[in-house]
Structure 1
Amino acid sequence: MHCVFIQTGHYADAYRRFAEGGAETYRDQRASVQFVADLLDRSDLTRVTTVSTTGPHQDELAPGLISEGIARDQDAGALLDRLAPDRLILRLPHLPLIKAAKARNIPTLPCFADLFQQGGPRTRWTNWQLMRALRNGPFPCVANHSLNASQTLKDVLRLDPSRIVPWDWARLRNVAPARTGLHDATAPCAFYAGALSEDKGVGDCLRAVQQTPGLRMTFAGGGDLDHWRAEAAQMDVAGRVDFIGLIPHDQVRAQMATHDMVIVPSRHSYPEGLPNVIYEALASRSPLILSDHPAFRGRLTPGTDCLEFAASDSVALAGAMAQIVADQSLFSHLSTASEVGLEGLYIGMEWNDLVTQFLDDPQNQTGWVTANSLTRLT
């Protein structure tokens, strides 16, 4: 049996980095890469191919373990005809691939991490096509990351909730002890991790720092560092912000622990899922401030395990930062409650279990879809 994964990430790069002792760039990356490689230990699998939309490449990483890259506009039917998969795990909502898999009756697990929104006419047309393609066919279910993104499959794509399966990564086990206050009351500091872009709220953070005297902020992530350093200089906060670029995953949690608060400022325009940085922030026990992005809304309780502000509103963000700095009892309360908040985020199947269940029973003969569906879990 030949199993094919199609995704955005470059599997071969990660596989080789880990083989050489390199670090993860996000939580559970090493475990998911190893899980895919270990599938060849199954007696019913003879070949596993990972296909990324990162541009052409082809490598045999181990006997039977193939990594290749394609252009995103690759002809979907020709790709599937060439690969001839017996099982397909589709990790992005790529409409031509969904249609091609359906036309060829290939058992397929659509397994997304995407928040679907109504949007304008073009988005609504794409949503309608996705709905039509996913409503029936060789798909035992449609999986999506966590609760809010899964609910958009029902509310936006109008899929049957009994066929929607939420999934998540493995639980974080190493939760730090609760904290009682700032590291240094005279030098409060905040931390951000993620892509450096306006839609992710980086500019809003800079404007909030501008309005919060004495506050420093560190930004970790990929993007145009020179652009953002120039923006900081123009706002006259260059001496209070630090853009450190991409750092290994294990350093992200360490940075969170050495800062007084973690900011997740995504604007509504950013196609966010429920990012790992929220889980990591809660596990670090540094108070979390997050925007009211639809992907996060309702998953935590503002004032109990986080503070929330209106996305794109730097004044509101600055006010939340000032609350953390000024109120030690609030700081202690948020830190103490963060462990319960973290546990409450987990819903649905772990990703490894989801893929294993699909490989074992792609026709859902055992009823695993219903048992783990949105209908059963909410």
Structure 2
Amino acid sequence: MNRHILVLQYAGNFAEAFWRLHAGGAENYAAQAYSLDSVAALVDPATRVTSVCCLSAQADDQLLPNGVRSIALGLSGTVDTRLVSRLVDDLRPTHLLLRTPMLRVLVSARRQGIPVVATFADSFVKGGLLARLRRRALARELNDPNVLVVGNHGRNACRNLESIGVRPEKVVPWDWPQVSSQLPPKRYPDAAEWKLVYAGLMDPRKGVGDIIEAIALLRRDGVRVRLQCFGSGAVGEFRRLAAAGGVEDCIDFAGQGTNSVVCDAMRRADVVLIPSRHSYSEGLPLTIYEAFRSRTPIVGSDHPMFDGILVDGVSAMVFRAGDPAALARALRALQANPQAYEALSRNAQASWQGLQIATRWGDLVRQWLAPAMGPLELSPRTNPPGLLA
């Protein structure tokens, strides 16, 4: 029987990433090449593979040299799940690899008897009655026998799936390939102006506005810091907020840096900021891995998905999410305590080690979608990049 595997993800452009990496370009995020190669490895003489990305800069449809058909829908803002579900129906897949929790697509797949492998990097945050009803409906669909396995990125994200009602025996934590850091711990930076780095979506729910307000509070107290922000999104909104707070001169909005550029910036920085609010559905952000590998201390929020990972005084300085004053206090406390700073840097390698999970994303996908293909073998270029020494 000929198979047609449809890979559905929320954002990106498979073809753009393929051609960029094919030409020797850099990864936009860790394990991007690994992700692409893992999907391409599913192609064989009896198996077609189509990648569909919902949010993308432009619409595109092309068959790539690796055999994957790449469709970018060119959507922006809120994704119309009816449109996506109709497209999935039109493509007539025999198997669905679902990388985003799209309820309408799950319902359609169940009704048509299309087997689903779900691999998320999400959590399902609290909300009102409508949010609870949606979570209940999502859990019901994920528990259906039509869904073969439900993966999520990291142990906390998997516990979150179980908390909304997904059966534990279906839930599998997965990870990307990781490379241990060979960098030495850092010494306390005895500098008049500390360098801060943020990398991620430029979104209020990610705590970007809280950083800017915290910097304004620090400036009023005579504490000098400089922030470098990497990421795309509501950059204009945050430029205006920085100007209103009188701190635009000490914030560099650096745009969407490549993974290697961001990692190097983390190593050069004095602090990495991970300030996500509880309202943002984090899974396990790769910035935590990269910050640990850089040996640069983290000041991070108490987001539920960071519980047991960012431990106050052990692996990070932790502050109450959504509270700029608490963020400013955490930064001041770290500046005032050289011993704590150096301890966080020393502990970073053990903190990174504690995140490791044996199951890799590509192996999980292959196990459930292509068990007869044998072990996954990918090219050396899929290894994550090193950090600046």
Match of 2:197 in 1: 191
Contact 1:196 1:202 in 2 (8 A): yes
Match of 2:52 in 1: 51
Provide the TM-score with structure 1 as the length reference. Answer: 0.89
**Equivalent-residue separation in structure 1 for 2:67 and 2:235 (angstroms):** 40
Contact 2:81 2:104 in 1 (8 A): no
Contact 1:175 1:284 in 2 (8 A): no
Letter of the 2:187 counterpart: T
Indicate yes or no: 2:158 matched with 1:150: yes
Report the 3-state secondary structure (helix = DSSP H, G, I; strand = E; otherwise coil) of the residue aligned with 1:316: helix
Indicate yes or no: 2:68 matched with 1:34: no
**Equivalent-residue separation in structure 2 for 1:294 and 1:348 (angstroms):** 23
Describe the superposition over 1:80-113 as per-residue Cα deviations: whole angstroms up to 9, x where unpaired.
4432323221111111111111112222101111
Match of 1:102 in 2: 110
Indicate yes or no: 2:279 matched with 1:277: no
Match of 1:131 in 2: 139
Shift of 1:2: 2.1
Indicate yes or no: 2:24 matched with 1:15: no
Match of 2:72 in 1: 69
Describe the superposition over 1:173-195 as per-residue Cα deviations: whole angstroms up to 9, x where unpaired.
3342211211x522212111112
Match of 1:259 in 2: 269
Change (3 A) 1:233 1:79: closer
Identical counterparts, % of pairs: 36
Contact 1:282 1:342 in 2 (8 A): yes
Which runs of 5 or more structure 2 residues have no equivalent in the other structure? 373-389
- Picking from 159, 164, 182, the partner of 2:166 is 159
**Equivalent-residue separation in structure 2 for 1:309 and 1:118 (angstroms):** 20
Report the 3-state secondary structure (helix = DSSP H, G, I; strand = E; otherwise coil) of the residue aligned with 1:99: helix
97-106 vs 73-82, greater mean Cα deviation = 73-82
Change (3 A) 1:79 1:225: closer
Report the 3-state secondary structure (helix = DSSP H, G, I; strand = E; otherwise coil) of the residue aligned with 2:312: coil
Match of 1:2 in 2: 4
Shift of 1:346: 2.2
RMSD: 1.9
Letter of the 2:51 counterpart: T
Shift of 1:78: 4.4
Letter of the 1:338 counterpart: A
Contact 1:219 1:242 in 2 (8 A): yes
Shift of 1:64: 3.3
Contact 2:309 2:315 in 1 (8 A): no
Match of 2:361 in 1: 351
Report the 3-state secondary structure (helix = DSSP H, G, I; strand = E; otherwise coil) of the residue aligned with 1:228: helix
Contact 2:275 2:300 in 1 (8 A): yes
Report the 3-state secondary structure (helix = DSSP H, G, I; strand = E; otherwise coil) of the residue aligned with 2:8: strand
Contact 2:125 2:278 in 1 (8 A): no
Shift of 1:159: 1.6
Indicate yes or no: 2:327 matched with 1:317: yes
Letter of the 1:277 counterpart: T
Describe the superposition over 1:191-241 as per-residue Cα deviations: whole angstroms up to 9, x where unpaired.
111122222111111121122211222111113433322321221222222
Report the 3-state secondary structure (helix = DSSP H, G, I; strand = E; otherwise coil) of the residue aligned with 2:159: helix
Contact 2:125 2:280 in 1 (8 A): no
Contact 2:117 2:369 in 1 (8 A): no
Indicate yes or no: 2:122 matched with 1:114: yes
Describe the superposition over 1:11-32 as per-residue Cα deviations: whole angstroms up to 9, x where unpaired.
1111111122221111101111
Aligned residues: 358
Shift of 1:264: 0.4
**Equivalent-residue separation in structure 2 for 1:140 and 1:128 (angstroms):** 19
